[in-house]
Structure 1
Amino acid sequence: MRASGILMPVFSLPGPFGIGTLGKEAFAFVDFLADAKQTYWQILPIGPTGYGDSPYQSFSAFAGNPYFIDYRLLAADDLLTADEVPAARPVGPIDYGALYNERPVILKKAADRLLAAPSPSYEAFCEAQSFWLEDYALFMAVKAEQGQAGLADWPDDLRCRKPEAIAAAKQRLAGAVDYYKAVQFFFYTQWNALKAYANGKGVRLVGDIPIYVSPDSSDLWTHPELFQTDGQMHLTQVAGCPPDAFAADGQLWGNPLYDWPVHKATGFAWWKQRMKHATSIYDVVRIDHFRGFESYYSIPAGNKTAAGGHWEKGPDRDFINAMHENLGEGGIIAEDLGYLTPEVKAMLSASGYPGMKIMQFAFDSRESGNYLPHTYHRNSVVYTGTHDNVTAEGWRTNASAEDVAYACRYLRCQPEELTEAMICACLASVSDTAVIPLADWLHLGSEARINTPSTQGSNWQWRLTCPLPEALAGHIAQLTMLYERAQ
């Protein structure tokens, strides 16, 4: 079935609270998608962000981001008073430091009101999410007690979860634990309402989950046996990508690597639980760095760059079979970008999941893979670019003259028409699904880039600062119908 969608992070939505939220602007964007005859809204990971504010470095593989909670919805539920809702501020780039200082103060007021008389829906939420919620809340409470220190810097008895230390922490931090549970209830109440609204409008949500968890996460803390550690919660090997034409030193992500033999011995129980959760909150799940299931790049912990790593064999078909057994064979997008070996391609083929095609890569002379549109097959998802790419307009103005000229020859357009030509090539392709970042529909330049891999300081901050043009939904709808992707 041919379909299309738009990539737009929740945090990039407009709104009055310094970051996109799950409030009326999110509902308005769903209306826009429906008017534009789009089937999918693809977002980035929605977990609570940690180091570097990256959604791919979250404190939990299951929790939601408190920054996305909309104060107005809390007020509508009588959990905040009107004067406790902050005054609207101009829409601009996200200041995560300001959010870090403001959010807990306001959310604490709402949590106190909820906890003074817990509702049946709150009790039901805690019971349904008990497989992760209590551990996450205790992790966050200890982290706050430790001055927000990373897990690696906690006292040994807490870091290594000595039973007596954990029992004492649960008693000592009971109030804080309840606060973090209440905040998750707020998030998921608002998230579920948004998803129900989107589905009612014929819009399906495409979520994104990182393959790895953060080194500073409740997942590592509560399940260290599932990761490559020294038995004292110290990582022995970490994740990343080898050097290539885009990064001379490679990418040193620093995430814990899985102890795959342990996962296999459990029947991949943790991963089954994680994917069950993901498919309950999203309609489709994109798994980041899917090739890491076939083989993964292993870097000794403590290395300063990724250059000293090596490849290790992953679970491959055993993992795929477990996912099919748990979820069936649909509802997954495999992010298969990067260094692809014949073995990775065979695993992807065996999975049946669609891989990804990036239009920018088709014309980038640094990219060794073949992403030219005439090579695509139906079981794929094509993008002009992703959150890790510059916008199409930014690519046009920053790529080499030779690469731009090649793209224009291939797409039969003038340079100033290149962004629209790339969009149309995506929509016209045989790929079953085409996803276009909103910034490309708006022809925005490099200022709208969301992330530059292997850099810090200005990522994950872009927001839509002006109203969408009135004619844009109609324009998108016309092209969507022209290329027979309207549902």
Structure 2
Amino acid sequence: PELLVREGLLEPADFEDSPAAGEGTVDYRRSSAFKERLLRRAFERLLEPGAESLRQELASFAQAAEHEGWLEDWSLFEACRRTFDGEPWWRWPEPLAERDEGALKAFAASHRREIEYHRFVQVLFHRQLRSLRSRAKARGIRLIGDLPIYLALDSADVWSHRRFFDLDASGQPREVAGVPPDLFSETGQLWGNPLYDWEALRDEGFSWWVERIRHELSRLDLLRLDHFRGFEAFWSVPAQSETAEAGSWQPGPGAPLFEALEAALGELPLIAENLGVITPEVEALRRRFRLPGMAVLQFAFSEEGTVPEHAPHAMARDTVVYTGTHDNPPIAAWWQDLSLKVRENVTAYCGATEDDASWALIRLAHTSVADLAVIPAQDLLALGREARMNTPGTPEGNWRWRLRPGDLTPDLAHRLAHLTRLTGRLPTGD
């Protein structure tokens, strides 16, 4: 929001009631409320003299062909949700929940200002992201996005495209997403997201998915497809189930979806998240469309030795190697949880010790043959379990760790730059 001061939409005094930053964690409730107040102040000043260029940009953005497929639905959805006190769309007045054309027009006419506000927020976000991407590109840096395969039931996309989801007449899922029981969970994981009606999507040439990917690639350089295995076959659980145990594997869209994406978009700059229960059919689909997979160094070691799918000596070049992902503990915490035998194997493989485990695996990732290496900030800082980002299966307390000003010191930058240069991983630009 500080950038809006330069444009005259905010004043320094607007920041006087800024909430104090939490010590190492994000308070989403307080920070969201504060930013909402700032954005609404900025929107009010949009009508004042001197903001003509931004008003014109807002109008042009709303009319642009690449935005017409989502911006109107998103703005309507958000305006409705605010009007009805955050209730999910299936609890709105029936004509709006069912997207009756007359009801939507009447609501839009009577809530024009609120709808314009949500468009305004999207313009600000897109122009700031565009500026960030431009500055990164000038330095040879590309941005990677993360695209979840599934959506929340209470979302603008599901509300506006119900025909593409497996919902009953009342808008509730017949089956929901999850993963089956495994070594980490006796009952599996019940995600609860609505599943796609892949037949309906196929009948329309997968146009919704094509536009979804096209839109993201207009803002980012690469996309990681979360739960890639769900495109080959997905775990379908009856909606009323309390665990994922009663689910079954159902066929996904497979090659026809990616053929449609290639036909529309050309070569696909996608990364396939191929962790978990991966079958030969899933790997065949990934290889057919030349999508790099993932390897996680925390998964590379066992009591018996190494795990080929994740160990650098057996790694394929078309791989994105991670020391750990957002679902793993930082390396320092991972090391503490290892058995003595696994620690011995890690030390024998890469020389890791308790004092240097984080950077030992950072070096291992950099010196691997993988085309890309991803290092979480927590590992660069050699932090422990207090800095874990996400614990799968726990609904509260996740995604709160924050990188603080001053954490990335010049010494740390020099150390990382030196290793990056030594291993031939410096950005080369276009």
Distance 2:243 2:195 in 1: 16
Q: Distance in 1 between matches of 2:28 and 2:240?
A: 28
Unaligned segments of structure 2, at least 5 residues: none
**Pair 1:132-2:70 in alignment:** yes
Find the counterpart in structure 1 of residue 42 from structure 2.
Answer: 110
Paired residues in the alignment total: 417
What is the distance in 1 between the residues matched to 2:21 and 2:167?
Answer: 46
Deviation at 1:255, TM superposition (A): 1.3
Q: Distance in 2 between matches of 1:256 and 1:115?
A: 41
Could you say which structure has the greater relative contact order, defined with CA pairs below 8 angstroms and 6 or more residues apart? 1
Task: Give the TM-score taking structure 2 as reference length.
Answer: 0.92
Q: Give the TM-score of the pair, scaled to structure 1.
A: 0.82
1:308-341 residue CA offsets vs partner (Å, 9 max, x unmatched):
2111000111011112112222411111111101
After TM superposition, give the deviation of residue 471 of structure 1 in Å: 0.9
Q: Which residue of 2 aligns with 1:17?
A: none
2:128 is the counterpart of 1:190: yes
**1:316 and 2:254 are equivalent in the alignment:** yes
2:218 match: secondary structure? helix
Any idea what SS the aligned residue of 1:267 has?
Answer: coil
Whole-Å Cα distance in 2 between the matches of residues 472 and 76 of structure 1?
Answer: 32
Shift of 1:364: 5.2
Which residue identity does 1:409 align to in structure 2? A
Segments of 5+ residues of structure 1 without an aligned counterpart are 1-70
Aligned sequence identity (%): 38
RMSD value, Cα? 1.9
Aligned residues of 2:300 and 2:310 also touching (Cα < 8 A): yes
| Matching residue of 2:416 | 476
Cα drift, residue 100 of structure 1? 3.5
Aligned to 1:144: 82
SS at 1:415's partner residue? coil
| Equivalent residues of 1:115, 1:182 under 8 A apart | no
Would you say the 8 A contact 1:404–1:415 is kept in 2?
Answer: no
State the structure with more CA Rg: 2
Given candidates 360, 379, 404, the residue that maps to 2:298 is 360
Displacement of 1:369 in angstroms is 7.5
- 2: distance between equivalents of 1:115 and 1:392? 51
Q: Does 1:84 align with 2:23?
A: no
Find 1:119's aligned residue among 33, 52, 55: 55
Is residue 401 from structure 1 mapped to residue 340 from structure 2 by the alignment?
yes
Cα offset for 1:163? 2.8
| Whole-Å separation in 2 of the counterparts to 1:148 and 1:339 | 37
Counterpart of 2:378 in structure 1 is: 439
Q: Which one of the candidate residues 368, 385, 390 is aligned to 2:324?
A: 385
Contact in 2 for aligned 1:75/1:85 (Cα 8 Å): no
Deviation (angstroms), 1:119: 2.2
Opposite residue 187 of structure 1, the aligned amino acid is F
Matches within 5 A, 1:299-310: 299-310=237-248
Q: How does 1:161-180 map to 2 (within 5 A)?
A: 161-180=99-118
Given that 1:408 and 1:415 are in contact with CA atoms closer than 8 Å, whether structure 2 keeps it comes out as: no
Question: What residue number does 1:43 align with?
Answer: none
Deviation at 1:356, TM superposition (A): 0.5
Identify if the C-alpha distance between structure 1 residues 157 and 444 changes in structure 2 by more than 3 Å, giving closer, same or farther: same
Amino acid of the structure 2 residue aligned with 1:443: A
Pick from 274, 284, 292 the counterpart of residue 212 of structure 2. 274
Distance in 2 separating the partners of 1:485 and 1:327: 28
Give the deviation of 1:381 after TM superposition: 0.5
Query: What does residue 373 of structure 1 align with?
Result: 312
Distance in 2 between the 1:436 and 1:457 partners? 25
The answer for the alignment partner of 1:46 in structure 2 is: none
Q: How far is 1:115 from its partner?
A: 4.7
Q: What is the match of residue 290 of structure 1?
A: 228
Of the structure 1 ranges 127-136 and 114-123, higher mean CA displacement relative to structure 2 is found in: 114-123
Q: Deviations over 1:397-425 (max 9, x none)?
A: 12333332322222233333222221111
